Amino acid sequence: MQRVLVLDFGGQYNLLVARRVRECGVYCEIKPYRLSMDEIRAFEPAAIIFTGGPATVFEPDAPQLDPAVFGLGVPILGICYGQQLMIHQLGGACRRADVREYGKVELTHDGASELFSGVEPTSVCWMSHGVEAERLPDGFRAVAKTAGCDFAAIENAKRGLYGVQFHPEVMHTVHGTEIIKNFLFRICRLTPDWSMASYASEAIEECRAKIGSGKVLLALSGGVDSAVAAALLYRAVGKQLTCIFVDHGLLRKNEGDEVETAMRNALGMEIIRVDASERFLSRLAGVTEPERKRKIIGEEFIRVFEAEAKKLGTVDFLAQGTIYPDVVESGLGGESAVIKSHHNVGGLPDHVDFKEIVEPLRRLFKDEVRALGIELGLPEKLVWRQPFPGPGLAIRIIGEITRDKLELLRDADAIFREEVANAGLERSVNQYFAALTNLRSVGVMGDERTYDYCVALRAVETQDFMTADWSRLPYELLDKVSRRIVGEVKHVNRVVYDITSKPPATVEWE
């Protein structure tokens, strides 16, 4: 399989670069720009892409590359900082731009570069830079410009070196994907050979080779990632895998049973399900502070898992459902800033004996994990579930958690989900759920005055969950959900819809 190497200079869009390349059917990995020449050669890249980055190329500590990279004979595409670096290191010059270009800008190409083959002569691209090229290195020519930038795209076609000042990976660049495809297929002459079917068989082989006859232990959380990791490992090593499903009693309606049944029926796999709800709920009694809830649940999850794991004795491998954005965002794979903090349940157990960790999904994006799940035979319903936070319904009940409130919220949430599905919006709304506020208000039902709970509905559209917009759900849908919740769920007399985006709000209410 041919591979593209994405050298990361810390740009905010680095993950998008990798996604776009993979969406074109070409496998790629993001690595820090500090990779040595030996490591770059060992990767055997069929092409290299330099990402953007926040540094200023002519300042003393700006990231540089070993110039030998330009002599590898491998085509290179430099994006933003990547283009400036190419210019700077090959004998051209860059300077601070008089006017910072930011946002959507009209780009015109000269019709003579392979990079723009099939692209309209003038189209919109996404710019974000304060430095620009002043003089190109020998052998380079400008192939596209904007009103504020004469070197919006450059090439030295003979040496296979290309640069763009704009960001083709950002969806606002109207022909971005075509430009990336032109680079991959016309310039580098790659073939799109990255598919989930081929990945699945390779990953299964890889796990088999690594695990041998060893024993593997995996904690199922009820989420998509750990379920797909389990399916993959089960295909690789069968009964050498033991899955422990810690049911903290904070899952959605019927969710625990659905996960268990899916693993059994679709894969023929046995799992150990521990009903730990009593333990979790008693530790959570009286707790109202959101971060404290998270901490208790994280700790308790690990403790229950450890207690169960102990019964199995020593295992050789501990498996985790880590996915690619976790690896890159936590600063391990690339240069980009550490973003995630509280979004994982608990961390690693310290009292489980294991020799090594296996993370069979660590090179996959979320949508690839889903495709892999389908490839491995997991039901669509399980694989396409919306994201669900590790601490579960605990952070959707404002204030103290009780069994009664959990029951109430589960019923309200199930109605909302059912109606979103009936409206055919399951996949276009990225996350939607009910939260139970700790507000009680006056209502009237029949001839009686009521004083009951207020349920909040939340639905968002987002690509990365770091920013999100509230979904413009149809009024008829909201009306139906509201009527059903108040009619069918006892002790709810009011339903509100959350119309705040993130930021300033978050997706969850706690």
By CB under 6 A, name the binding residues for ligand XMP. 294, 342-343, 345, 387, 389-391, 431, 465, 502, 506-508
Distance of closest approach, residue 142 Cβ to ligand XMP, in angstroms = 42
CA angle 262, 507, 256 (to 5 degrees): 20
Closer CB to ligand XMP, residue 465 or residue 470? 465
Closer CB to ligand XMP, residue 110 or residue 291? 291
Whether the CA torsion 341, 343, 345, 349 is positive or negative: it is: negative
Helix (H) or strand (E) holding 324: helix 324-329
Closer CB to ligand XMP, residue 210 or residue 366? 366
Cα separations (Å) of 250 from 52, 56, 345, 366, 390? 42, 48, 13, 23, 9
Closer CB to ligand XMP, residue 56 or residue 501? 501
Distance of closest approach, residue 251 Cβ to ligand XMP, in angstroms = 13
Helix (H) or strand (E) holding 160: none
Closer CB to ligand XMP, residue 149 or residue 327? 327
- Do 180 and 21 touch, CB atoms closer than 8 A? yes
Distance of closest approach, residue 433 Cβ to ligand XMP, in angstroms = 8
- Do 429 and 442 touch, CB atoms closer than 8 A? no
Catalytic residue, from 24, 28, 29, 80: name it. 80
CA distance 188 to 505: 44
3-state secondary structure of 212: coil
Active site residue 167: yes
Distance of closest approach, residue 281 Cβ to ligand XMP, in angstroms = 18
Catalytic residue, from 88, 109, 167, 248: name it. 167
**The two three-digit tokens of residue 238, written as one number:** 């069968």
Active site residue 80: yes
Helix (H) or strand (E) holding 80: none
CA angle 199, 205, 206 (to 5 degrees): 85
Closer CB to ligand XMP, residue 441 or residue 500? 500
Contacting residues for 154 by C-beta, under 8 A, at least 6 apart: 83, 87, 133, 136, 140, 141, 142, 143, 162, 163, 164
Cα separations (Å) of 217 from 238, 240, 252, 383, 400? 12, 9, 25, 21, 34
* Residue in the block written with tokens 């593997």: 216
- Do 132 and 94 touch, CB atoms closer than 8 A? yes
Task: State residue 207 phi and psi, 5-degree precision.
Answer: -65, -40
Distance of closest approach, residue 466 Cβ to ligand XMP, in angstroms = 8
CA distance 59 to 437: 52
**DSSP designation for 397:** B
Distance of closest approach, residue 301 Cβ to ligand XMP, in angstroms = 11
Closer CB to ligand XMP, residue 342 or residue 381? 342
Torsion angle of the four alpha carbons 400, 406, 412, 415, in this order, in degrees rounded to the nearest 10: 150
- Do 181 and 24 touch, CB atoms closer than 8 A? yes
Distance of closest approach, residue 293 Cβ to ligand XMP, in angstroms = 9
Distance of closest approach, residue 387 Cβ to ligand XMP, in angstroms = 4
| Closest among 170, 239, 177, 138 to 25, alpha carbons compared | 177
| Closest among 140, 276, 139, 163 to 221, alpha carbons compared | 276
Cα end-to-end span (Å), the chain: 44
3-state secondary structure of 470: strand
Distance of closest approach, residue 343 Cβ to ligand XMP, in angstroms = 4
3-state secondary structure of 343: coil
Catalytic residue, from 101, 132, 155, 169: name it. 169
Closer CB to ligand XMP, residue 112 or residue 466? 466
Closer CB to ligand XMP, residue 127 or residue 328? 328
Hey, which residues are catalytic here? 80, 167, 169
